[in-house]
Structure 1
Amino acid sequence: MNLHAVCAIYRFEMARAGRTLMQSIISPVISTSLYFVVFGAAIGSRIPETHGISYGAFLVPGLIMLSLLTQSIANASFGIYFPKFTGTIYELLSAPVSYLELVVSYVGAAATKSVILGLIILATAGLFVPLQVAHPLWMLLFLVLTSVTFSLFGFIIGIWADGFEKLQIIPLLIITPLTFLGGSFYSIDILPPFWQTAALFNPVVYLISGFRWSFYGIADVSVGISLVMTIGFLALFTAIVAWIFKTGYRIKA
């Protein structure tokens, strides 16, 4: 592997995050903090505990996952779309850099930014609600796996999109609604039986459930199933990226 090329692209993408600090870090942290203020403090004080946990603390894993999914997709999709938009993608494709090295560079940088953001939000949440992390290693595992998985998904969107507006369609119309309906603000156990079953078809439920288990030891579905589903999504998106580079879909045309 051409580590020099990987490091060069990785450093460039990370430097871009520094230049857009307000958009990539500060804005998501402020938005999430508002959720803690409104739902955790104002409304949460009037809501009974969930599984013995205060509502404000219960929100933390779901809100971190909400930011993690959206920012992973946004970082990776813009990172690969911009070279397409400016035409510099062809310089990368003609350089002695393999497809694997391109994916590792762009996806690695996007996932790194998302992990950093998730940890900052976690630290910020401690200012608003009492926190505990029962399984810190599992928490980091789910954090990294989710960041890498949805950075791959964002990479796919960036290849597929042929305009800036298309970069926002899937995150806004699909990912955000699925996250809100995936147990970010509630446990699916409180839903009627039919809707509990329907919620299990929402893939985000497994991500949030496994991540929340790492904090409090409670989950809507088995942590083993959550881990298998997360790895399954990772394998699926990896296979799609491999197919894209094999066929040259929207790259070589």
Structure 2
Amino acid sequence: MNLIGIKAIYRFEMARWGRTLWQSLVTPVITTSLYFLVFGSAIGSRMSDMAGIDFGSFIVPGLILLSVLTQAIMNASFGIFFPKFTGTIYEILSAPLSALETVTAYVGAAATKAVILALVTLATATLFVDVKVDHPLLMLLFLVVISVGFCLLGFAIGIWAKNFEQLQVIPLLIVTPLTFLGGVFYSIGAIGEPWRTVTLLNPILYLVSGYRWTFFGIADVPLWSSVAVMAAAILAPLAAIIWIFRSGYRLKN
């Protein structure tokens, strides 16, 4: 394992994130704060409890994942896309780094950023609503696993994308809508058929539900199904990345 090479890429990516801290950290936190002001304070005060929990507190796990999923994909995809765009990808491919070491460095840095963003967002939420975490260690574990899964997805997107427009297609047109429709602001027990069944087809629901369980001990779906979706969120993009490095798809041409 080339730890020096992994550390070099990791430090470079974290330094790049530090130079764009306003866009990468401050802006998402401000956006999330606006959600708390609108949905937690203004609208939430007029709504009944959701699944027996104050509405403002209920939406905290979902809003954290709403920020994390988008930023995890964007950070990981841009991290590998930019070397492709500038042509320095060939220096990385020719370096004494295996595919596993390259992915570990880029995905590790992107996942670190996502976890930091989530913890800052959680701290921000405590300024607006009462937040309790029934299972803090599991909350961190779920957060890390979900972050790694979507960073792997972002890494694959970064290799697939040919331009900046393609880089944003999946996060903006697929992931973000699915997240909004995945139980961020509601429990599926509050909606009727056929929308409840349709919502159960949304994989993001299982991530939000499992993550919310670590806060309040309640879930819309069985916990094992959330764990299964988290495992799939890691294995599916990982399989795609393995194939990409073996075939050289959009890496060597």
Q: What band does the TM-score fall into relative to the shorter chain?
A: over 0.9
Gaps of 5+ in 1: none
Map 1:6-85 → 2, pairs under 5 A: 6-85=6-85
**CA-to-partner distance for each residue in 1:61-107, whole Å, 9 max, x for gaps?**
00001001000000000000000000000001011111111100000
Letter in 2 for 1:176: T
Structure 1 residue 193: Cα displacement: 2.9
Letter in 2 for 1:169: V
SS of residue in 1 equivalent to 2:164? coil
Deviation >4 Å, runs of 4+: none
What's 1:225 paired with?
A: 225
What's 2:93 paired with?
A: 93
Map 1:91-240 → 2, pairs under 5 A: 91-240=91-240
SS of residue in 2 equivalent to 1:165? helix
Name the CA distance, whole Å, in 2 between partners of 1:33 and 1:23. Answer: 15
Name the CA distance, whole Å, in 2 between partners of 1:89 and 1:25. Answer: 26
Identity within the alignment, %: 63
Gaps of 5+ in 2: none
SS of residue in 1 equivalent to 2:50? coil
Instruction: Decide whether the 8 Å contact of 2:51 with 2:187 is kept in 1.
Output: no
How many residues align structurally? 253
What's 1:245 paired with?
A: 245
SS of residue in 1 equivalent to 2:127? coil
Q: In angstroms, what is the RMSD of aligned CA positions?
A: 0.7
SS of residue in 2 equivalent to 1:193? coil
Instruction: Decide whether the 8 Å contact of 2:152 with 2:237 is kept in 1.
Output: yes
Name the CA distance, whole Å, in 2 between partners of 1:145 and 1:22. Answer: 25
Name the CA distance, whole Å, in 2 between partners of 1:129 and 1:231. Answer: 31
Letter in 2 for 1:5: G
SS of residue in 2 equivalent to 1:186? coil
SS of residue in 1 equivalent to 2:185? coil
Name the CA distance, whole Å, in 2 between partners of 1:150 and 1:196. Answer: 25
Letter in 2 for 1:120: V
